[in-house]
């Protein structure tokens, strides 16, 4: 860790506190952010008081694993009606950090901030047979006849688009399903595949919402529309005994089979197939792009399944489930990590060549930003990211994300159509 240096304010001892019933402490918005060179982090608060008061503001900063890296403190003394801004600026290595702010013994806030995330180094740890492993999975998928079946949903369909429940067969002959929306007007259209989050409730596109495009919302094996047939139990631990049996070998192939289906439709412009999804859906989006070159651009957000060696030590889940399952099966941690390495988005990301827009919540405790960037930094094509400083694992509730995603896809459509 590069030495943290206080640039603005030296560590100071607080005077004897005075009664301060009217003191308010607000963390400045600028503290919730991503700091990139030449600007280093600056954490700041505004302290205000309705009456005479004194005390000490303290910032404790930890790394993602909860190891204390520095503490900054500064005394304040205010007359009634006064306020003061206290800032602490310093240098930090690339990474994400957690700050806890206290006014004396009173905790004010906890939050995460980031430093130069595109320089975070999470080494690729793919096994020697990684490429052969996925080539075999693709070959097995190709041997399965998809047997597409579409069932028109008359109630959801409108004059703009028809809505279907679609069924198809994937790896191992597994039947998977999704909701499919197709414009009624003649022509060929861009298509967007949405890969769903872990245990998400299935949802259907609004027939009138986007008549200019085809949409498929896929439910993966044992999840969503397929949950009544779930034979996997808790998906993230199913088959953890070996890479060949792990649940996500089939789930990643489900993502590819969805591309097969979209590419088979006459109303689809096959040069304009897009992918998006959040959390598990973000991982499946990136896996699809890595394992199939037909995706024109992708917009994953808060992606799951990345950088397991760090992930399992900085987030409570899925570590709790995976370590418990490994313990029951007598699997040591190195063997567990070797199995997971075949499905680690960090190891697949280098295969991705299409443009990618990634969204993430800076306060995400489920798929922390460190894990998002472990994969992002390995991507092999054009890329950019979008941060939501006060959001956690809930970027799906952020309208500006969807506006940015749609603009990103529209930009790609214009480029492809003009070339």
pLDDT in tens, 394-407: 999 999 999 999 99
pLDDT in tens, 204-261: 999 999 999 999 999 999 999 999 999 999 999 999 999 999 999 999 999 999 999 9
**Cα separation, 251 vs 219, whole angstroms:** 10
Q: What is the chain's mean pLDDT, rounded? A: 94
* Mean pLDDT score, 135-140: 98
- Residue pair 162/146 in contact (Cβ under 8 Å)? The answer is no
Phi and psi for 2 in degrees, rounded to 5? -60, 145
Domain boundaries 130-418, CATH class? alpha beta
pLDDT at residue 12 greater than cutoff 70: no
* Mean pLDDT score, 175-204: 97
pLDDT at residue 15 greater than cutoff 90: no
**Cα separation, 220 vs 279, whole angstroms:** 14
Q: Which residues are catalytic?
A: 279, 364, 393
Quick one: how far is CA 181 from the chain centroid? Answer: 26
Give the pLDDT band (50/70/90) at residue 10.
very low
**Cα separation, 151 vs 177, whole angstroms:** 11
Three-state secondary structure string covering 184-246: CCCCCEEEEEEECCCCCCCCCCCCCCCCCCEEEEEECCCCHHHHHHCCCCCHHHCCCCCHHHC
Q: Which residues of 270-289 are buried (b: 16+ CB within 10 A; e: fewer)?
A: eebbbbbbbbbbbbbbbbbb
Q: Where are the domains of the chain?
A: 23-119, 130-418
pLDDT in tens, 363-391: 999 999 999 999 999 999 999 999 999 99
pLDDT at residue 299 greater than cutoff 50: yes
- Residue pair 145/177 in contact (Cβ under 8 Å)? The answer is no
Phi and psi for 92 in degrees, rounded to 5? -150, 150
Phi and psi for 215 in degrees, rounded to 5? -135, 140
At residue 319, the 3 state secondary structure works out as helix
* Mean pLDDT score, 156-185: 98
pLDDT value of residue 220: 97
Higher model confidence: residue 281 or residue 20?
281
pLDDT value of residue 18: 42
The dihedral sign for the CA sequence 171, 139, 168, 318? positive
**Cα separation, 321 vs 221, whole angstroms:** 19
pLDDT value of residue 19: 41
Q: CB neighbours of 164 closer than 8 A, spacing ≥ 6?
A: 150, 151, 152, 153, 179, 180, 181, 182
Cα distances (Å, whole numbers) of residue 78 to 15, 51, 53: 12, 8, 5
Q: Encoding tokens for residue 70?
A: 């520095």
Cα distances (Å, whole numbers) of residue 416 to 187, 189, 237, 258, 413: 17, 13, 41, 22, 5
pLDDT value of residue 22: 78
pLDDT in tens, 69-95: 999 999 999 998 999 999 999 889 999
Say if residue 318 is preceded by a cis peptide, omega within 30 of 0. yes
pLDDT in tens, 89-113: 988 999 999 999 999 999 999 999 9
pLDDT value of residue 21: 57
Pairing mode, strands 34-35 and 106-115: parallel
Query: Within 13 Å of residue 185, how many CA atoms lie on the same side as its CB?
Result: 10
**Cα separation, 322 vs 331, whole angstroms:** 10
* Mean pLDDT score, 265-290: 98
Give percent of the chain above pLDDT 70.
Answer: 95
- 3-state DSSP: the chain helix, strand, coil percent, rounded to 5? 30, 30, 40
Query: Which fold, 23-119?
Result: Immunoglobulin-like (2.60.40)
Pairing mode, strands 149-152 and 161-169: antiparallel
Q: Do 23-119 and 130-418 fold alike per CATH? A: no
pLDDT in tens, 314-329: 999 999 999 999 999 9
């Amino acid at each position: 860790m590069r030495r943290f240096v206080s640039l603005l304010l030296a560590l100071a001892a607080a005077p004897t506190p005075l009664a301060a019933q009217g003191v308010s402490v607000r963390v400045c918005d600028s503290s919730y952010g991503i700091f990139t060179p030449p600007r280093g982090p600056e954490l700041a608060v505004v302290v205000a008081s309705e009456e005479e008061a004194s005390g000490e503001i303290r910032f404790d900063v930890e790394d993602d694993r909860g190891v204390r890296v520095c503490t900054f403190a500064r005394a304040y003394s205010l007359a009634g009606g006064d306020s003061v801004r206290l800032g602490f600026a310093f240098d930090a290595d690339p990474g994400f950090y957690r700050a806890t702010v206290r006014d004396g013994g009173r905790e004010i806030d906890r939050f995460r901030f980031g430093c130069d995330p595109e320089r975070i180094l999470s080494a690729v740890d793919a096994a020697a047979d990684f490429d052969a492993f996925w080539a075999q999975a693709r070959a097995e998928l190709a041997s399965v006849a998809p047997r597409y079946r579409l069932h028109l949903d008359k109630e959801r369909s409108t004059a703009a688009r028809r809505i279907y429940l679609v069924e198809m067969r994937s790896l191992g002959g597994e039947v998977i399903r999704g909701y499919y929306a197709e414009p009624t007007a003649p022509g060929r259209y861009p298509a967007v595949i949405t890969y769903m989050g872990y245990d998400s409730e299935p949802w259907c596109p609004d027939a009138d919402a986007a008549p200019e495009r085809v949409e498929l919302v896929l439910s993966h094996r044992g999840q969503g529309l397929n949950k009544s047939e779930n034979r996997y139990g808790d998906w993230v631990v199913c088959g953890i005994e070996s890479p060949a049996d792990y649940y996500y070998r089939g789930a990643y192939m489900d993502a590819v089979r969805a591309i097969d289906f979209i590419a088979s439709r006459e109303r689809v412009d096959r040069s304009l197939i897009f992918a998006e999804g959040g959390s598990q859906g973000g991982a499946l989006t990136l896996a699809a792009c890595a394992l199939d070159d037909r995706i024109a651009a992708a917009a994953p957000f808060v992606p799951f399944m990345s950088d397991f060696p760090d992930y399992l030590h900085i987030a409570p889940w899925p570590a709790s489930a995976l370590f418990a399952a490994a313990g029951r099966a007598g699997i040591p941690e190195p063997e567990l990590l070797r199995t997971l390495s075949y499905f680690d988005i960090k190891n697949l990301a280098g295969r991705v060549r299409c443009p990618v827009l990634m969204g993430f919540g800076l306060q995400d405790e489920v798929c922390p930003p460190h894990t998002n960037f472990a994969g992002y930094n390995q991507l092999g094509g054009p890329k950019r990211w979008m941060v939501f400083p006060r959001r956690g694992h809930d970027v799906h509730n952020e309208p500006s994300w969807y506006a940015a995603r749609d603009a990103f896809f529209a930009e790609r459509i214009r480029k492809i159509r003009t070339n």
